[in-house]
Amino acid sequence: MTLTVINPATEAPLAELEQAGVEETDAAVLRAKSAFPAWRAVAPADRARLLRRLATLVEEHCEELARIESRNVGKPIGGARGEVGMVAQVFHFYAGAVDKHYGETIPVAGGEAFTFREPLGVVGLIVPWNFPLNIASWKLGPALATGNTVVLKPAELTPLSALRLAELALEAGIPEGVLNVVVGKGSIVGTRLVEHPDVAKIGFTGSTEVGRLVMSGAAGTIKRVTLELGGKSGNVVFADADLERAAAAAPYAVFDNAGQDCCARSRILVERSAYDRFAELLIDATEALKVGDPEDDATEMGPLISAAHRETVAGFVDGEPLYRGQTPAGKGFWYPPTLVAATNDDRIAREEVFGPVAALIPFADEAEAVRLANDTPYGLSGSIWTRNGARALRVARAIDTGVLSVNSNSSVRVTTPFGGFKQSGFGRELGMHALDGYSEVKSVFFSTEG
C-alpha cells in the first residue's frame, strides 16, 4: 500500500511512501530490541555526546526541516523554524540530563539501600500531525537519554520530518536500530505497537478517543503509557487585566497552527463588565491576523491539515458568528479565523474543535470564572489575565489543568513539565519530569553484615 503525502496549502503531492503493516512493525521492534543491550551500555558521557551531536545537526538543518514541516503541515514557515529550534533545544537539554538523573541512598537497617534508574527497553512513540517533529522530540529526548531504544510512528498525514530526523540520528552516530521510524496507519502499526509483547511502553500524543484505545490495548501486557490528549482550555480574562495586551495576545493562543493545537485557548472567558470592550479589541486583533501562503515569512496562519478535517471544523459553526475572517481563494484546506459568542454549555465550548474557532463566554465573578474553566472533561492548559496578583495565584491553584500561564498564553518550555489533568491524559513531558516516564526505579538492598 502506498501513501501519498499532501501539501495542505496547495493539495499537491509531496511524496509517495510505502506503508508498513504488522510484519514491518514487528521487524522494527526486533531491530530496536536487538539494539537495546548495546545502547543501554553506552557510557553516559558518550550517550550525551551523541544526543548533543543530533541537536547540532538539527540546528544545521533547521531551514530544511522547517521547510519540510511547513509544506507537510501547512504551518507558517516562521513558526516552523521556531519549532525546529525547540527540537534542537530539547536534544541539548536531554544530552545534559543523561548524567543528572540520579538515584538515591535510603537509610535502612543492616546495610544500604539504593535506587537505580533503569531503562524500560523498547518504547513505542505514537505522535499526531499538528506538531510532528516537536512532539516526537519531546519523547525521543528522554527516551534515548535514559537508554531506551525506540520505534516512532508518525501520523500518516505528516511522516516526512520524522523520516529525515532518523537519517540525521544515524549521521550523528546514534547506532542503527536505536531510532526506528515506521510509517503506517494508526489502526495497524499503532495497534501493533500497543499490543506488542516486546514493547515496554507507549508514549502517545493524540486525541482522547484514541488515547482510550491505547490505554485499554496496553492493559494486555501491562505496558506503561504516557497519554498526552485533547484539550479545551480556558483563557480567563478579568476586568482588571490589561485588556489591550490580553486581546492582542488572544488570537495567537487559539489561531496559532490554525487552531490545531492541544493547548489552544479556545474558550475565551471574559468578565461580563469588560466583555463588550474586550470583544471589540479581540475582533480588531483577529482581523489583523495574516492568513495565507505558509511559505511567506509574514504569514501567521495557514490552512487546516485536510479536507476531511475542514469539514469537521465547519460542522461546529452554526449561524452567523461574531466574526469570520478571510482566507485565500483557490486550492488548499482553508478555514477562516472565527469568533463565536457562546455559553459554556454550547457544543462549541464542550468539544475540541481543533480548528481556528474560538468561543467567547462571559462570566460574572471569580467564583464563576473558576467554575466555568473547570466545567470541561479536559485539563491541559489555560491562561489567567489580571493585574491582581493574589487573585492570579488563587485562580491558578483552583483551575484543574496541567499547565497555566498568568498574563501570557505560553504553555511549553523545554525545561518545565507539560501534560494534562483529567481526560487530557497523564504523565509529564519535557523538563526533568519526562525522564521518570522512560525509566523504572529499581531498589537494591546491600547487606553490610557478614
Nearest CB to ligand NAD, comparing residues 434 and 435:
434
Stretch that binds ligand NAD, among 40-48, 170-178, 227-235, 268-276 (CB under 6 A): 227-235
Three-class secondary structure of residue 434 per DSSP: helix
Indicate whether 408 belongs to the interface with ligand NAD (CB under 6 A).
no
| Three-state secondary-structure class, residue 179 | strand
Contacts with ligand NAD, 238-277, as mask; x by CB under 6 A: ------------------------x---------------
Among 91, 129, 316, 334, binds ligand NAD (CB under 6 A): 129
Site for ligand NAD in 12-31 (CB under 6 A): none
What residues have CB less than 8 Å from 146, skipping those under 6 apart? 98, 101, 117, 119, 120, 435, 438, 439
| Residue 420 near residue 402, CB atoms below 8 Å | yes
Cell numbers that stand for 403 in this block: 499547565
Q: Is 346 exposed, middle or buried (CB count within 10 Å of its CB: 0-12, 13-18, 19+)?
A: middle
Residue showing cell 470592550: 277
Q: Which of 56, 306 has the CB closer to ligand NAD? A: 306
Phi, psi of 347, deg, nearest 5: -55, -40
Residue 27 — φ and ψ, nearest 5°? -65, -40
Question: Among residues 302 and 362, whose Cβ is nearest to ligand NAD?
Answer: 302
- Least distance (Å) between residue 428 CB and ligand NAD: 10
Position among 213, 317, 398, 432 found at the interface with ligand NAD (CB under 6 A): 213
* 262 noted as active-site residue: yes
Cβ 14 vs Cβ 160: under 8 Å: yes
Q: Which residue shows C-alpha cell 481526560?
A: 423
**Residues near 390 by Cβ (< 8 Å), separated by ≥ 6?**
none
| Residue 374 burial (CB count, 10 A) | 16
Three-state secondary structure call for residue 406: strand
Near ligand NAD by CB under 6 A: residue from 76, 79, 177, 230 = 230
Confirm whether 62 is a catalytic residue: no
Looking at the Cβ atoms of 149 and 424, the one nearer to ligand NAD is: 424
* Number of other residues whose CB lies within 10 A of the CB of residue 357: 25
Query: Measured from the CB atom, is 134 or 286 closer to ligand NAD?
Result: 134
Please give the residues from 87 up to 106 whose contact with ligand NAD meets the rule CB under 6 A.
Answer: none
Distance in angstroms (rounded) separating the CA atoms of residues 66 and 81: 5
Q: Does 140 bind ligand NAD (CB under 6 A)?
A: no
Kindly name the residue from 62, 156, 262, 429 that is annotated as catalytic: 262
Residue from 24, 69, 83, 156 in contact with ligand NAD (CB under 6 A): 156
Per-residue contact track with ligand NAD, 349 to 378, x per CB under 6 A?
Answer: ---x-x------------------------
Give the shortest CB-380-to-ligand NAD separation in angstroms.
5
Candidate list 24, 83, 228, 256; residue touching ligand NAD; CB under 6 A: 228
Distance in angstroms (rounded) separating the CA atoms of residues 359 and 372? 13
Q: Which residue has the cell 449561524?
A: 319
Residues near ligand NAD (CB under 6 A) are: 126-130, 135, 153, 155-156, 186-187, 190-191, 194, 205-207, 210, 213-214, 228-231, 262, 352, 354, 380, 420, 424-425
Residues marked as catalytic: 228, 262
